A and B are shown apart, each in its own frame.
Chain A
Amino acid sequence: MYLKKLVLAVQKSAQDYLKTVYNLSKNGEAVNNTDIAQKLNVTPASVTEMLKKLADEKYIKYSPYHGSTLTEKGLKEAQKITRKHRLLESFLSNVLRIGNDKVHQEACQMEHALSDEAEESLCRLLKHPDTCPDDGKTIPACDLPFSNCEECIQLHQKGLEQVGKRDKNLISIRELKSGSSGNISFIRGEHKVLQRLLDMGLTPGTKIQIIKIAPIDGPVEVAVRGSKIALGQDIACNVFIEIDDKKKQG
């Protein structure tokens, strides 16, 4: 019994570390230990210890001088827990009407206990929210192999279990730097916006390139099929591409 509790505690703490690295890392850049220590409110020594452990498990790439970056495996885990966290925040704030100053703490406790099944139901209940209420950050996409939310809506819970999982990690184009590109694999949100984006040429599998991003949370200008389109942040955060591994390393 005691042992099981201990394992769970370690797991919880590992998830928190991955989430922190994910949140601190801008555009896949390495995160240094002091920032992590500060964020999690622990000593630098324990940070080093935990990061080494995570590196052993292939969740992160760790170098004492450059800091940590997430591996594909680590990113998957980090996105999952971040998604649960932000969905919970949306739920606590928009449904339960709990104050925005409290939702973060609450969600931090609940996220580790939330099953994948409950996560999916929560996403449907909240009608596929795109950003979390307290800081406006993008909620990562789910790991179901859909190209839009309507494919999910038509399936029942049982159907969801059969469709399997997506193997690639997705990233919202809102999180990308200018110059990066990838293939569109998922567009979140209501039918109207989806149809408009499809009409403009943002069909699944299409290559999309970020040309520039206007400052102060401004729109993202993308190139698709030879045309240039400006997408507001609230649209961009719903367009997801598959992460190109080679690009990331290069």
Chain B
Amino acid sequence: MAQQNSTAVNPKDKTVTGNTIEKGKQFTFALAGNANVGKSVIFNQLTGSNQIIGNWPGKTVDRAEGTLSFEGNEIKIIDLPGIYSFSTFSMEEIVSRDYIALEKPDAVINVVDASVLERNLFFTLQLLEMNVPLVLVLNQIDVAKSKGMLIDKNKLSALLGVTVVFATATRGEGIYDAIREAVKVANNKPKCKQLKYHKDLEEQIEKVQHIIEKENLNLEYPSRWVTIKLLEGDIEITKLVAEKTKTVIAQLKLVSTEYEKSKQEKCFSIIASERYALASSTVAASLQQEEISRSITDKIDWFATHRVYGYITAAAVIGGLLLWTFFIGNTLSGLISEGLSTIYSVAPELSTSASILGIIFNGFWGGIDAGLTLIIPFVIPFYLLLALIEDSGLLTRVAFMMDSAMHRIGLHGKALIPIILGYGCSVPAIHSCKIMETRRERLLAAFAITFAPCSARTVVLFGMVGLFVGIQWALLLYVVNLAIIFIMGRVAMKAVPGKTTGLIMEMSSFKRPSIKIALKQTWTRTKSIIYIVFPIYIVGSALIQVLYVYDILTPISNALYPLTVTWLGLPAFAGVLLLLGTVRKELIILGATAVLGTTNLLTGFTSVQLIVMALVAMLYIPCVSAMATLGKEFGWKTATVISLANIGTALIVGGLTYQLLNLFI
């Protein structure tokens, strides 16, 4: 019963390697299980990879791969998306099912949340139906213990006929034991214990299985599993079998109709109930529940979903995240900027008399300077706090509280998670829209994200308005932006036909966030931005310098004159800035600095112009990387429509703001 600690493994064996070890074997193990049980945590610890971990269901939307070398064996680990069942209603379920059934990994490591054992075993039973070599990892055994749940490992193992390992993945405990057991399973290929459901149901399964085996269909899947899927009315499997033979389907219909008639219940419902009955009796036999008093996490949970405090919490989380980014970013940015200026100051005024190399170097350094002072101070604090909030489980509570508000823009509460991510960077945020159930909802969420002020836009807002007009104006624009997200969300909801699906979301337990995981995650997210953004910054900035010095930009500015100057009331060179901003929004500030030859933007803009410029910059188009992501996820036509909607909104809002501000200021 005691928790197993992972025994020491030769550290050399633990490291990620690409080089092959001479003796030993190659294995492929798949991590499978419900959403939010800690598969990604285990995957990262094993492979050193950087899967994003958060305490909300659905991070792993595509499968991830990594390798490790363990006791002389080279092991490929596949992290499958978290699913509750093998029905074919979502892409994730099909991806996982086909991977396990068709590519036949050497072992499947089924990670389950020990504190929600019964629900998790429902999925384990489906894996057993598929007759795969299995190791059962009871993760979060510490959480289960704190809930007074004592699990008898040996009994559970005997009942299910699989090896059971206890683990607390966040502390690295039990992970390598799981791998060791998986290696054993892969080597010995023990036969799966055939678990039996109720006698009535087993009779039907036998009948149909007999028919299938007689027909000799040569299916890739085990026949018992195919039988159960056929009885459940699984569309994919029925189609697969129907292609080979119609007689099986006809006979199946007879069996199932008669059975359903006698039971007065549909087969898929009977089978789900039977699986749960088995899961329930297994848990009852192997788990001892002790009385425990209300824990501190229950109290936090009560507070975070209280009818008054819940909204305060939601507002505090969202608002706090933004304010924190704003003020910490502001302070850090100033400090870094001062530090850099002692090394080398960007020469503001350059003329064609300077050497081309000098011009390029100046732009180069300007790019590095801008990257360090603009990205690092804003992005890192944002992602750090977000990682802590994610890991704690607070985000699901915020989603719970905001569900009815999100319904007004055609989404449900879960959509709040990608939108909040969008405050950091649109690219991962648009990817994470996959947690939504239908294409319509993914689209609506992604559309809302294109308006969300990502860190780049925050930088523009801060650098233009916060610094030169006043911090209160910058905050006001933030609020205006929120209102625009809401209004455009509603417009989009009306424009895209369809019904909003209801929220079905597991409320994961609260836990104390792990600093280690948060830091790791912050680094993962920041790293990808640095790799993508820094080069664009440096090259972009050098390019702007050259373009400016050789006066190539004027014709572009002239072409955009009617929009920028006449309608938006901006200086003529704003046209160029907006073009640059399509690459990265921060380039707008960079460009302005280069064009004006000084970091004091007030020399080229009035306060009103800065406000309008920042507002337009926030709204007018997603940057190139975000557009590429949209195109990849939804098709180029949709990405174009979204971009045009962005431009239209920016022009309307920007123009109106210009007129309005002129009236009052």
Contact = CB atoms under 8 A, between A and B. Distances in A.
Contact of B305 (A151, A193, A196, A221): A221
Interface stretch (B111-119, B332-340, B357-365): B111-119
Given A225-B119, A227-B119, A227-B506, A195 B413 contact: no
Interface stretch (B84-92, B196-204, B482-490, B570-578): B84-92
Interface in B259-287: 260, 264-266, 268-269, 272-273, 276, 280
Interface of B: 84-85, 87, 89, 115-119, 122, 260, 264-266, 268-269, 272-273, 276, 280, 305, 307, 310, 396, 399-401, 403-405, 407, 412-413, 500-507
B505 A215 contact: no
A148 B269 contact: yes
Interface stretch (A29-37, A40-48, A87-95, A232-240): A232-240
15 contacts: A145-B264, A151-B266, A192-B89, A194-B269, A195-B268, A201-B119, A201-B122, A203-B273, A214-B401, A217-B404, A227-B119, A230-B399, A230-B504, A233-B404, A235-B502
Contacts of B89: 192, 195-196
B268 A218 contact: no
Contacts of A226: 115-119
A219 B400 contact: yes
A204 interface: yes
Nearest to A189: B502
A33 B612 CA distance: 61
A175 to B, nearest CB: 16
A204 to B, nearest CB: 6
Contacts of A146: 264
A160 interface: no
B412 A232 contact: yes
A110 interface: no
B403 A206 contact: no
Interface of A: 145-148, 150-151, 154, 163, 192-201, 203-206, 212, 214-219, 221, 224-236
A53 to B, nearest CB: 38
A196 B190 CA distance: 32
Contact of A204 (B118, B269, B404): B269
B403 A232 contact: yes
Tell me which of B265, B273, B403, B413 has the highest count of chain A C-beta atoms within 10 A of its own C-beta.
B403
Contact of A197 (B310, B403, B500, B504): B504
Contacts of B265: 147, 151, 204
A231 B87 contact: no
Tell me which of B280, B403, B413, B502 has the highest count of chain A C-beta atoms within 10 A of its own C-beta.
B502
Contacts of A219: 400, 403-404, 413, 503, 505
Nearest to A198: B272
A198 B277 CA distance: 12
Contacts of A203: 269, 272-273, 276
A61 B527 CA distance: 69
Nearest to A228: B507
A58 to B, nearest CB: 30
Nearest to B119: A227
Nearest to B306: A212
Contacts of A233: 404, 502
A236 B502 CA distance: 9
Contacts of A228: 506-507
B31 to A, nearest CB: 20
A127 to B, nearest CB: 12
A36 B449 CA distance: 49
Given A216-B404, A225-B280, A235-B502, A199 B413 contact: no
Contacts of B305: 212, 214, 221
